[in-house]
Amino acid sequence: MELNYVFYIDASPEQVWQTLVSPEGTRSTFFGTVLNSALEPGSSFEYVGPGADGENTVHVYGTILEADPGKVLSYLEHPGPSYRDNHDELESRVTFTLETVGSCTKLTLVNDQWTPDHPSFANSKEHWWMMLSNIKTYTETGKTLDFGW
């Protein structure tokens, strides 16, 4: 099982990186969450924001595999504790790769290494399109898309 997406964004890799890791960027593009992490290989991370457990719901957490600003962000992730009782047994890898193409950035997302029968696969397949479209729109315009939620 692998999810693979490519988007071209009219911005520099550094600008796309800021959208991926800054509190303003993640809050705008990752459903209101903030990425908490030292962004160093082996360090932990969590996306925290409004949800079932209040303002500080952990939506996703895990371990940073690689964080090379403007180039690669990769991590192993688990769904937050409020989503699945066996959250610590469920895992996938997410890798964002940023490449300069002309005057824009090619953003490639690969979400792979899914635990067999991972219940979040279908949800991720649906929502990555929205999040990546929002990353593109936000980075280019400073605005977000209204998905009607």
Could you report the per-residue pLDDT of 57-79, keeping only the tens digit for each?
A: 999 999 999 999 999 999 999 99
What are the pLDDT digits (tens) for 42-58? 999 999 999 888 889 99
Predicted TM-score (pTM) of the model is: 0.94
What's the fold here for domain 3-141?
Alpha-D-Glucose-1,6-Bisphosphate; Chain A, domain 4 (3.30.530)
Contacts of 53 (CB under 8 A, 6+ apart): 80, 82
C-alpha angle 36/148/96, rounded to 5°?
A: 35
What pLDDT sits at residue 93? 98
CA–CA separation, 106 and 54 (whole Å): 35
Per-domain residue ranges of the chain: 3-141
